[in-house]
Structure 1
């Protein structure tokens, strides 16, 4: 893995050019299940031409270039072209509206944005920023010479500047150095156990960390084929792709698995590996997966700032039978612990740790480390058992302090979601109107279509928590809502519920 830390490390070479030209890097699957392969040779040849055009437009080493594009081959070509020039990719999720776009474009001081016609109007209010349509880029590249040179940015050079999802406030810029590839490959190998013979599909969107890191960057670094579904997520289309292409190794968000469980009862798959990241999985989803997917789902934990770091690993050399509720043990190359109640990463003892600070935000960076910078603080509360297994409780901001108790919302949510009428739920702490308990537990519940939201059902849900979890943690108020506020990547924004907003 030292190749990624070298002062002469070249991202285009490490991610693309060194692999056999005829090896398939990506298989793009359309909504109608038609597919087309993109080889490493295709990427090399086309990205060199793209790089010629972009260099002629003034793109140079260190420039931040936001990209908003659907899941199509030109996305990959564009990214590699930028990396050839030593430029920095700034991901823009396609569901972003203009406000989220402007925050990232201005925050990165970008002078050029690359997009496609479907999203061009989102950039119409930007001043002094050139908007380049990828189809125009592709046309220009078809008639120009190939740029065979590539810039060696070194292990400390920035490859990507990704922004946090905003679950607890304003998104922050996270510079991802080239040396992070060592961590990404380690996760692909040990936690996901992606083998050469696997049909690997990480269904997360590449506009966000998990999809970008592990459906694009890590497979390219390892020379493994990655499946990319061009359509939007539905449980039905997910099952169709799995069956049609014989997917053996699947990774996705908990919301995907929950939707899949709710939508089908007669699915019979034979996955070799199934993995989840984003939020903890609830027990009933695990039980369903074992019988319907052909294997258990293993929970993995990480952050935009870290990649994945604590996992129920799949690789047989380090795999252990997961303990219920645990997200596993640290990835090789990381040492974790509990510091002031938070899950934390030991900086000195974690050679794969790559985060050093947020872009132009020293105060926010300082919050992420202990005063002596010996520990990275995740902001997530949890615990470690005597066998070294870690258990997630809540975002530190989400912990509910009620009558002297620290209540993790996930624990309460895990009980409520077992009710047959509940589709989704989010639990938060709100100030106690009586001023006695400090905070009280409140639940925001999305019901299945056939359920009737009434006082009887609310009492039923309260009693469920009393009986199955704890009397001190039952929700004093149950709100029935049509939907929960989420980030575009699907994470629940509990801070909006705490602040009284449900939109």
Structure 2
């Protein structure tokens, strides 16, 4: 049996088994290091160099040493430590070391400028910063930098930073903190697309909460010869919890490539060279990969998962031929992630739909008056607590935390509809839904349609205020290389959508842009586009 009925059977039989004591360092490192210290944990691909394997044994030794170095310099359990690092072995070591201390890792994107970094350092009350040379330089550009007890640089002592290598070379050791699943372990800041970023504080159980859905979407995981990879920044919940930590937890090598910009052509080459079998690739990255004319061959992919924005039917269909496997879409937020999943291997995958409520998670769609939405009716996605992936709170913001709940339901602010089989169709954030002539229009369907046009690289849709219709649909379009913008092309794109969707959904305005603004996790910043009006 496969399909919604099989999924419902999995849901009914599922039970969480959360231990009384849990530490991420033991879960993703120590138990494997004790069993097989030579087992490969990381595969590091640096520019111009061969892939370098790093074992669980070395990960344990280096993380013990780094934890001891941090502890001897004042970092203790509960302290926040900001990580400003690219993908790489040092980033994995730092996460394990911080977990050992019972401290809280605060991963931040290396692409952040001085203002963004300063906000997160100050708001989190960080005790220390572990970074690289470019991160030290960014900190140095902060006009009034928040006080830190220490800065550790992976590229040598400079500008007051301690040398990571020297710290690890001290070869100190510490006892791993005796922590529970609800003890704070990770704080991941929201993207800030709808307001100031907030620190979503998670207990160590957040990793355990991701594992069942992760194994469903990567059917048969782990399997002999598996190699896992994502181009997503490990500072994002997607990169960190949708791939890196679950893979290490299950003993599968994680491919790490320290890079600042996604290279779609290089992604094919990298996956072929490293023999990647399991990948997490955000929708924007997939759309960019679909533009590659002659992708590298020899892929060994067994499963691909995508999240962050709606995948879209065009990407869903493209993956089957170009990648050789369907893409399984998942949904979640920084505060509560991986709660809706699709799985082609289990017969639970439909083009245009995100998926089904994952076993162990209770997800519903509710109208504004708190009523459970009817089949096909658009409403807000809500998730019932308690749930292992649910955040503990927004850091130092009890009122904002309380505002996110209606009783036991976490209110996501995202709009969706559910069909009779329980499949969720994502529409967009409440802020992004366009009201035009009485219709409620989600931008995702229009963006997906525009992506099917041969001239379009990326598209983003917003509502422009209109005195007659309340709002009209406006599309911002990034064209493929070699395609010139024109008024005629704009009209062609409008008709392209109207012919395929409906008369009320087509963009009445099309504006061509050099680049669609994206967050570091690959989400369209529609707020920036609305502010252009």
Residue 192 of structure 2 corresponds to 166
Alignment match of 1:379 (pick from 405, 413, 421): 413
Alignment match of 2:516 (pick from 465, 484, 490): 484
Establish whether residue 330 from structure 1 lines up as the match of residue 357 from structure 2.
yes
Contact 2:243 2:280 survives alignment (8 Å): no
Residue 128 of structure 1 corresponds to 147
Residue 28 of structure 1 corresponds to 44
Relative distance call for 1:141 and 1:431 in structure 2 (3 A) is same
Equivalent residues in 2 for 1:153-192 (5 A)?
Answer: 153-192=179-218
How far the C-alpha of 1:249 sits from its partner, in A, is 1.8
Residue 356 of structure 1 corresponds to 392
More displaced, 279-288 or 86-95? 279-288
User: Aligned to 2:85, what secondary structure does the other structure show?
Assistant: coil
Residue 43 of structure 1 corresponds to 59
Alignment match of 1:257 (pick from 263, 269, 286): 286
Runs of 4+, deviation exceeding 4 Å: 1-5, 265-268
Contact 1:270 1:295 survives alignment (8 Å): no
Relative distance call for 1:145 and 1:415 in structure 2 (3 A) is closer
Residue 419 of structure 1 corresponds to 453
User: Aligned to 1:67, what secondary structure does the other structure show?
Assistant: strand
User: Aligned to 1:496, what secondary structure does the other structure show?
Assistant: helix
Equivalent residues in 2 for 1:232-251 (5 A)?
Answer: 232-251=261-280
Equivalent residues in 2 for 1:134-153 (5 A)?
Answer: 134=154, 135=156, 136-153=162-179
Q: Distance in 1 between matches of 2:22 and 2:312?
A: 42
Contact 2:100 2:177 survives alignment (8 Å): yes
Establish whether residue 230 from structure 1 lines up as the match of residue 243 from structure 2.
no
More displaced, 63-72 or 392-401? 63-72
Cα deviation 1:265-299 (Å, max 9, x = unaligned): 56544522122111112222222221221112121
Residue 10 of structure 1 corresponds to 23
Contact 1:383 1:391 survives alignment (8 Å): yes
More displaced, 31-40 or 489-498? 31-40
Q: Distance in 2 between matches of 1:338 and 1:143?
A: 53
Establish whether residue 400 from structure 1 lines up as the match of residue 400 from structure 2.
no
* Structural RMSD (CA): 1.9
Cα deviation 1:98-121 (Å, max 9, x = unaligned): 111011101101132111112212
Contact 1:409 1:427 survives alignment (8 Å): yes
Gaps of 5+ in 1: none
Q: Distance in 2 between matches of 1:114 and 1:291?
A: 42
Residue 311 of structure 2 corresponds to 281
Residue 369 of structure 1 corresponds to 405
Residue 371 of structure 2 corresponds to none
Establish whether residue 209 from structure 1 lines up as the match of residue 237 from structure 2.
yes
Q: Distance in 2 between matches of 1:365 and 1:266?
A: 45
Gaps of 5+ in 2: 1-14, 157-161, 368-378
Relative distance call for 1:35 and 1:291 in structure 2 (3 A) is same
Cα deviation 1:337-391 (Å, max 9, x = unaligned): 111211111225xx43422321122232233211x2x211111100111111111
How far the C-alpha of 1:202 sits from its partner, in A, is 2.5
Relative distance call for 1:177 and 1:446 in structure 2 (3 A) is same
Alignment match of 2:249 (pick from 211, 216, 221): 221
Cα deviation 1:298-328 (Å, max 9, x = unaligned): 21111111121101125x5xx1241221111
Contact 1:204 1:215 survives alignment (8 Å): no
Relative distance call for 1:288 and 1:9 in structure 2 (3 A) is closer
Cα deviation 1:68-103 (Å, max 9, x = unaligned): 112221111122111111111111111111111011
Relative distance call for 1:366 and 1:127 in structure 2 (3 A) is closer
Relative distance call for 1:353 and 1:81 in structure 2 (3 A) is closer
User: Aligned to 1:392, what secondary structure does the other structure show?
Assistant: strand
Alignment match of 2:468 (pick from 430, 436, 443): 436
Q: Distance in 2 between matches of 1:284 and 1:207?
A: 28
Q: Distance in 2 between matches of 1:382 and 1:181?
A: 26
Q: Distance in 2 between matches of 1:483 and 1:86?
A: 42
Q: Distance in 2 between matches of 1:11 and 1:418?
A: 42
More displaced, 169-178 or 285-294? 285-294
Q: Distance in 2 between matches of 1:477 and 1:462?
A: 8
Relative distance call for 1:490 and 1:310 in structure 2 (3 A) is same
Residue 52 of structure 1 corresponds to 68
Relative distance call for 1:235 and 1:146 in structure 2 (3 A) is same
Establish whether residue 304 from structure 1 lines up as the match of residue 330 from structure 2.
no
